[in-house]
Structure 1
Amino acid sequence: MIGDIHQRVTRSSVNSLAFFSHSAYVASFEPRDVSHALSDTNWVNAMHEELENFERNHVWDLVEPPPNCRPIGTKWVFKNKQGEDGMVVRNKARLTFAPVARLEAIRILLDFAASKGFKLQQMDVKSAFLNGFIEEEVYVRQPPGFESASFPDRVYKLRKALYGLKQAPRAWYARLKSFLLKSGFVMGSVDKTLFLLSRGGDTLIVQIYVDDIIFGGSSHALVSSFAEQMSREFKMSLMGELQFFLGLQIKQGLEGTFVHQAKYTRDILKKFNMGDSKPMTTPMSTNTALDADEDGEAVDQKEFRGMIGSLLYLTATRPDIQFAVCLCARYQASPRTSHRQALKRIFRYLKFTPELGLWYSSGSSLSLRGFSDADHAGCRIDRKSTSGTCQLLGTSLVSWSSRKQASVALSTSEVEYVAAASCCSQLLWMKATLSDFGLRFGRIPLLVDSTSAISVAKNPVLHSRTKHIDVRFHFLRDHYEKGDIDLIYVVSANQLADIFTKPLEFDAFTRLRGRHIIIVIGGIVKGLYLVTFSHEA
């Protein structure tokens, strides 16, 4: 009877593309262990729901353990699922391990959808890993607190994958991929979590991230049909318009899409007791010169690494802190007071700018271009240089990096050449990915503020002087000659990648930041800068 109720609710939700109906009451805490969970009715209901999913999906059979059987222990994992406002909306076991999309792929999809003017929707596959078939013979013990009174010594023989099994992610992805391909979808040639369906003149795009699925298209009928089709095959939670995904807050409007992590920013400020700190206008001072500081006082390594991890997750929508966070992350092995002070300044900067985010305009032209820059011998310990790159789709930033180079460079030309090679590699990946969206590009502009680095790639006469450069970087020259990219000089003032290579003064920092991200206050877009560069820039 419970299954019939769920099916009727699911069908009703699919027809209206509304939210799936869950229990009206949820627990606000996460249990310490199974005995703690069993003391609360809401968590007991959540565990019952999981076991009902097992039965519905025919995950296992209760059998006598065969000779020499070594059953795998089972363990409850409890996690609260929160909404955009931070309220608990569901008590569930979190799922782990599965093929996932790169964050760049998510941002590309958001930009593409905004430019085409269609709204992205979101659905959640309930108990996703229970849908994957396994070939091996696996036995597990009965779940704690739910042992059979009649057969307490029996074990479960698995028919399908279970959370925590190494086979689980592969099995779930294989099942979903097979279903989508049989339904007429085409898998992305580069991104294997991207699936596209063309029907007539309409297109449907599906992006998978573990058990979360983002989808949207040019036809409302096609989108609705896909939702119904998925709900018939799997047990789904239709979550409506995409608003909160992987901690990213997403606001889709007529003028474009705004992506930010304001809630997460406030949460980590509170977590590390920085909520009342004095705000700073930049994430790092130009006078900051971090080194090993072996004579400095050691600080709590666990806390330092926790702060780094929290900030690295925030860089998904905050390119303005990318360089500062990556620089501090180099000292996680033996953090000192000076390193912690530099890290605290980043938090103080976040206190000053909590609501910055990325803007994807509906008026974007979807042209592709990249910027690369480098800081020669910037590391005070090993004198290695830092590469900074960023890639834009139309007027929107979708990919960026700040990374220390692998070897010491002998000249500024070499470090700029190496940085440009890294940018070229990312542009080629994006070009291949965007071809699945039906976008085709000729020579992709790669803007560099070093004429000597451009000459190394263009002028065969200079090749004899660059034999010491690792051969893997010379593919930049090859792709220039093939016509895949076009190396263009840009004056340093217009070099957008400069923000990823070194600390900048306030004026330069805010100018470049304004070309990457925007701020939204009270729902009104503020400080949006759209810039274009000609080949003569």
Structure 2
Amino acid sequence: MDDKSAFLNGFIEEEVYVRQPPRFESARFPDRVYKLRKALYGLKQAPRAWYARLKSFLLKSGFVMGSVDKTLFLLSRGGDTLIVQIYVDDIIFSGSSHALVSSFAEQMSREFEISLMGELQFFLGLQIKQGLEGTFVHQAKYTRDILKKFNMGDSKPMTTPMSTNTALDADEDGEAVDQKEFRGMIGSLLYLTATSPDIQFAVCLCARYQASPRTSHLQAVKRIFRYLKFTPELGLWYSSGSSLSLRGFSDADNASCRIDCKSTSGTCQLLGTSLVSWSSRKQSSVALSTTEAEYVVAASCCSQLLWMKATLRDFSLRFGRIPLLVDSTSAISIAKNPVLHSRTKHIDVRFHFLRDHYEKEDIELIHVVSANQLADIFTKPLEFDAFTRLRGELGVLQAEGIDNALIKGEIESQWTGLIALLV
């Protein structure tokens, strides 16, 4: 649902005054101003006032606010549950009972000027296809729009977003390109990574050179667009039959940055077979060894898993020791061995909370062979075969001509080996 006048419904607590609108001036008091009781569009307090008003209404209606996500509200009535997620003036809601959903829609319509949009199919540029076997989220229309916007619609398709021979650096002797256009391309691609984790590494690597882009950087970005030309229909598949088991993968490419020799961290977190969170970023400090680089990224993945664990608790999902799969036995040994020695004395103290949570039995560190390390796709450019295999195992599939039952079988077969490792 959408609130047509969200920013006009909030009561403001501060004293705010506005001048009299043109052609509506008071003849008796032409020099006076108006004191606002409710918010107006354009007022910086308006979003906060709207959220406070909506939160107050939902809490009075029996909802419980999420302990981690303050825009999440849940209502339990009998054996049924209603979930409400707020994004400014857009509200996504779903429930286990049709009567409960209808009652909520009627309540909101009486209190606010609401427009019911029906089943969720399009949201903030995301296209959603829902079926009995699961949900598919993609940005095919947005992909075609940015290809057309940057005149890449007729470009030659490429099978991977970045060549394995690509090694970007500052390239100070290279020819400078239009910074505004380059930043526009990077910004458009960054939004696309919301449903395309397969381009996450390539986009983040190119984004490091926005301050002074060169021809070599622009060519790398255009390579990503040519890959999108090859795969405009890719998106994320969330199977309804997937088990609700939380796990994480972490990997690092040691000293991969050619400028400052910092490592690249890659992490991904999955709920069952569904990818729900991922990242690719350069580490903040220089690692003295591959072991240290792997240890640092495992700590980052651990913090994300703990946040997800706390968030899922609002949905009455409880997890014990969460598997964290790392392909470095040395990093696992450091986390399991709380002894200070020459290999760990220089590691920043903040990263040792990985060891702390291992001892608290919040996570379980498991070694995984590099071939089955899903986070590898977020740390370096890969050959076509390895790239497409990892992409499929992450649940990144084609949108056009989806057969839900076939896709479900494909995903489960791809995960058979990895699930066997965890059992």
TM-score, scaled relative to structure 2: 0.92
Please report how far the alpha carbon of residue 164 of structure 1 lies from its aligned counterpart in structure 2 after TM superposition. Answer: 2.7
Residues 531, 213 of structure 1: alpha-carbon distance in 2 compared, 3 angstrom cutoff = farther
User: Are residue 168 (structure 1) and residue 46 (structure 2) matched?
Assistant: yes
Distance 1:438 1:403 in 2: 32
Residues 202, 378 of structure 1: alpha-carbon distance in 2 compared, 3 angstrom cutoff = same
1:455–1:462 CA contact under 8 A, matched in 2: no
Distance 2:260 2:24 in 1: 58
Residues 258, 302 of structure 1: alpha-carbon distance in 2 compared, 3 angstrom cutoff = same
Residues 152, 304 of structure 1: alpha-carbon distance in 2 compared, 3 angstrom cutoff = farther
1:65-88 CA distance string (max 9 Å, x none): xxxxxxxxxxxxxxxxxxxxxxxx
1:250-281 CA distance string (max 9 Å, x none): 01111100000000000000000000000000
452-461 vs 369-378, which moves further: 452-461
Residues 533, 462 of structure 1: alpha-carbon distance in 2 compared, 3 angstrom cutoff = farther
Distance 1:392 1:521 in 2: 17
175-184 vs 457-466, which moves further: 457-466
Residues 240, 523 of structure 1: alpha-carbon distance in 2 compared, 3 angstrom cutoff = farther
1:373–1:449 CA contact under 8 A, matched in 2: yes
Q: CA RMSD in A?
A: 2.6
SS in 1 for 2:343: helix
Residues 309, 142 of structure 1: alpha-carbon distance in 2 compared, 3 angstrom cutoff = farther
2:264–2:282 CA contact under 8 A, matched in 1: yes
Please report how far the alpha carbon of residue 159 of structure 1 lies from its aligned counterpart in structure 2 after TM superposition. Answer: 1.2
Please report how far the alpha carbon of residue 529 of structure 1 lies from its aligned counterpart in structure 2 after TM superposition. Answer: 6.5
Residue equivalent to 1:323: 201
2:133–2:408 CA contact under 8 A, matched in 1: no
Please report how far the alpha carbon of residue 314 of structure 1 lies from its aligned counterpart in structure 2 after TM superposition. Answer: 0.3
Residues 521, 362 of structure 1: alpha-carbon distance in 2 compared, 3 angstrom cutoff = closer
1:456–1:462 CA contact under 8 A, matched in 2: no
2:273–2:411 CA contact under 8 A, matched in 1: no
Distance 2:301 2:256 in 1: 19
Aligned partner of 1:224 among 93, 98, 102: 102
Residues 283, 514 of structure 1: alpha-carbon distance in 2 compared, 3 angstrom cutoff = same
Distance 2:103 2:25 in 1: 41
Residues 145, 472 of structure 1: alpha-carbon distance in 2 compared, 3 angstrom cutoff = farther
Aligned partner of 1:254 among 132, 135, 141: 132
1:123-157 CA distance string (max 9 Å, x none): 01112111111122322245578889999877543
1:488–1:535 CA contact under 8 A, matched in 2: no
1:203–1:217 CA contact under 8 A, matched in 2: yes
Residues 528, 447 of structure 1: alpha-carbon distance in 2 compared, 3 angstrom cutoff = closer
Please report how far the alpha carbon of residue 526 of structure 1 lies from its aligned counterpart in structure 2 after TM superposition. Answer: 13
SS in 1 for 2:317: coil
Distance 1:244 1:279 in 2: 27
1:94-124 CA distance string (max 9 Å, x none): xxxxxxxxxxxxxxxxxxxxxxxxxxxxx01
Please report how far the alpha carbon of residue 366 of structure 1 lies from its aligned counterpart in structure 2 after TM superposition. Answer: 1.2
SS in 1 for 2:115: strand
Residues 472, 461 of structure 1: alpha-carbon distance in 2 compared, 3 angstrom cutoff = closer
Residues 388, 377 of structure 1: alpha-carbon distance in 2 compared, 3 angstrom cutoff = same
Distance 2:276 2:74 in 1: 20
1:346-395 CA distance string (max 9 Å, x none): 00000000000000101011110000000000000000000000000011
Please report how far the alpha carbon of residue 449 of structure 1 lies from its aligned counterpart in structure 2 after TM superposition. Answer: 0.4
Residue equivalent to 1:412: 290
Distance 1:393 1:221 in 2: 29
1:443–1:483 CA contact under 8 A, matched in 2: yes
Please report how far the alpha carbon of residue 521 of structure 1 lies from its aligned counterpart in structure 2 after TM superposition. Answer: 12
Distance 1:145 1:401 in 2: 54
2:273–2:415 CA contact under 8 A, matched in 1: no
Residues 322, 149 of structure 1: alpha-carbon distance in 2 compared, 3 angstrom cutoff = farther
Please report how far the alpha carbon of residue 165 of structure 1 lies from its aligned counterpart in structure 2 after TM superposition. Answer: 2.2
1:395-428 CA distance string (max 9 Å, x none): 1000000010000000000000000000000000
Distance 2:416 2:20 in 1: 59
SS in 1 for 2:205: helix
Distance 1:273 1:204 in 2: 45
Aligned length: 411
SS in 2 for 1:268: helix
Mapping for residues 494-533 of structure 1, pairs under 5 Å: 494-515=372-393, 532-533=418-419
Distance 2:297 2:68 in 1: 23
Mapping for residues 419-438 of structure 1, pairs under 5 Å: 419-438=297-316
SS in 2 for 1:240: coil
Please report how far the alpha carbon of residue 467 of structure 1 lies from its aligned counterpart in structure 2 after TM superposition. Answer: 1.8
Residues 342, 460 of structure 1: alpha-carbon distance in 2 compared, 3 angstrom cutoff = same
Residues 480, 527 of structure 1: alpha-carbon distance in 2 compared, 3 angstrom cutoff = closer
TM-score, scaled relative to structure 1: 0.73
Residues 381, 232 of structure 1: alpha-carbon distance in 2 compared, 3 angstrom cutoff = same
Distance 1:493 1:140 in 2: 63
SS in 1 for 2:241: coil
Residue equivalent to 1:534: 420
Residues 512, 484 of structure 1: alpha-carbon distance in 2 compared, 3 angstrom cutoff = same
- Consecutive unaligned residues in structure 2, runs of 5 or more: 394-405
SS in 2 for 1:207: strand
Residue equivalent to 1:181: 59
1:286-327 CA distance string (max 9 Å, x none): 000000000000000000000000000000000000000000
Residues 151, 247 of structure 1: alpha-carbon distance in 2 compared, 3 angstrom cutoff = farther
Distance 1:367 1:317 in 2: 21
SS in 1 for 2:281: strand
Distance 2:228 2:414 in 1: 19
Residues 405, 235 of structure 1: alpha-carbon distance in 2 compared, 3 angstrom cutoff = same
Please report how far the alpha carbon of residue 163 of structure 1 lies from its aligned counterpart in structure 2 after TM superposition. Answer: 2.3
Please report how far the alpha carbon of residue 462 of structure 1 lies from its aligned counterpart in structure 2 after TM superposition. Answer: 5.6
Residues 237, 176 of structure 1: alpha-carbon distance in 2 compared, 3 angstrom cutoff = same
1:415-468 CA distance string (max 9 Å, x none): 000000000000000000000001000000000000000000002346553121
Residues 467, 534 of structure 1: alpha-carbon distance in 2 compared, 3 angstrom cutoff = farther
Distance 1:124 1:451 in 2: 51
Residues 125, 523 of structure 1: alpha-carbon distance in 2 compared, 3 angstrom cutoff = farther
Distance 2:412 2:334 in 1: 41
1:484-535 CA distance string (max 9 Å, x none): 00000000000000000000011110110111xxxx9999999986764334
SS in 1 for 2:418: coil
Residue equivalent to 1:479: 357
2:392–2:411 CA contact under 8 A, matched in 1: no
Please report how far the alpha carbon of residue 183 of structure 1 lies from its aligned counterpart in structure 2 after TM superposition. Answer: 0.7
Distance 1:254 1:315 in 2: 26
SS in 2 for 1:399: strand
1:176-234 CA distance string (max 9 Å, x none): 11111111111001010110011111100001111110100111111110111111111
